[in-house]
Amino acid sequence: MFVRAVVYTKFGPPEVLRLVERPTPEPKPNEVLIRVHATTVTSAESGMRQGRPLWGRVIIGLTGPRRAMRTLGIELSGEIAAIGEKVTRFRLGDKVFGFAGFQPGANADYMCLRQTASLAIKPANTTFAQAAAAVDGSSTALFFLRDKANIKPGQRVLVIGASGSIGTYAVQLAKHFGAHVTGVCSTRNLDLVRELGADDVVDYTTEDFTKRGERYDIVFDTVGKSSYRRCRRVLRDDGVYLPTTGLVTNNLLTAWTAMRRGPKVKAGMSVEKSEALVLLRDLIEADSLRIVVDKTYPLERVTDAHRYVDQGRKRGNVVVTLIDD
């Protein structure tokens, strides 16, 4: 049987993406075959499509995407359509959501993932479209706030990029952990960020958060719009700066600040997400975590979805549907 997939064979603008037909993949003994209902276009994939950042080409391919990376789609939700003979973790028909990470491929009707991949039963109270948007941003926010910064009740947290995918979850999760949260966003997103629970908001178009005379335990820059150098002055001496981007520089700063007194940088990459997905699912099912979906496109319009994400202005998440909910 032939199924739809979006592929690209060279780095470039959204137009490098092509919709093709190809045979349905077959799961290996320890893999599940997923009928993909929804996926997303993340900022990371907009970068992968363009071959950026340059250091990332070590993973995605030096001069063009590696064969295994030619179909994007790192977040997904769907149904288990077949299982390999050694699979014990999932059953036929299970409704799942998950993360394909460095083996993307959810821009296709079907994809295979190892049963040990970052995959979990999807929240019962969401559509597939919402579930697909509840994977990477949410688990990355959790990884940085809980695992890297060891967030505690009563701490003061500044979230830069509070209206983005990681940011919308970071505001809510920091509140969930009992912190006092200040969100940095532009004028049009002030209401959204307040609705998500931020105690305070800074409009970056009219105010510089470093000049407010406030000090924070955690500064979480979800969108790479600040620097440790600039943020150091608003961090308490035992504070933590969390950058999601600029991995090369920020890994060096992580090592350097670990050896010195004063605020620390804690950079990293969240890759293994199974445990996080279970916790996040519980929060979503308890109505304690809202999934912000900005726009939804059918697979045939994935190029338009990339065009939109390329602008860097999305609110929360951009979803691509393969089957209507």
Ligand X SMILES: NC(=O)c1ccc[n+]([C@@H]2O[C@H](COP(=O)([O-])OP(=O)(O)OC[C@H]3O[C@@H](n4cnc5c(N)ncnc54)[C@H](OP(=O)(O)O)[C@@H]3O)[C@@H](O)[C@H]2O)c1
Q: What is the DSSP string of 34-55?
A: EEEEEEE--HHHHHHHHT-SGG
Binding mask 75-114 for ligand X (x = CB under 6 A): ----------------------------------------
In the set 59, 269, 278, 286, which binds ligand X (CB under 6 A)? 269
Binding mask 14-43 for ligand X (x = CB under 6 A): ----------------------------xx
53 binds ligand X (CB under 6 A): no
Q: Please give the structure tokens belonging to residue 143.
A: 């990884």
Q: Which helix (H) or strand (E) holds 18?
A: strand 18-23
- Minimum CB–partner distance for residue 82 and ligand X (Å): 29
CB 39 within 8 A of CB 76: yes
* Complex with ligand X: residue 42 or 155, whichever CB lies closer: 42
Amino acid at 272: E
Binding mask 196-215 for ligand X (x = CB under 6 A): --------x-----------
In the set 106, 166, 219, 293, which binds ligand X (CB under 6 A)? 166
Among positions 215-234, residues that touch ligand X (CB under 6 A) are: 222-225
Range 67-71, long-range pairs (CB < 8 A, 24+ positions): 68/103, 69/102, 69/104, 70/7, 70/8, 70/9, 71/5, 71/6, 71/7, 71/104, 71/105, 71/106, 71/107, 71/108, 71/111
Q: Please give the structure tokens belonging to residue 127.
A: 């559509």
Binding region for ligand X (CB under 6 A): 42-44, 47, 136-137, 140, 160-161, 163-167, 184-186, 188-189, 204, 222-225, 244-245, 269-270, 312-315
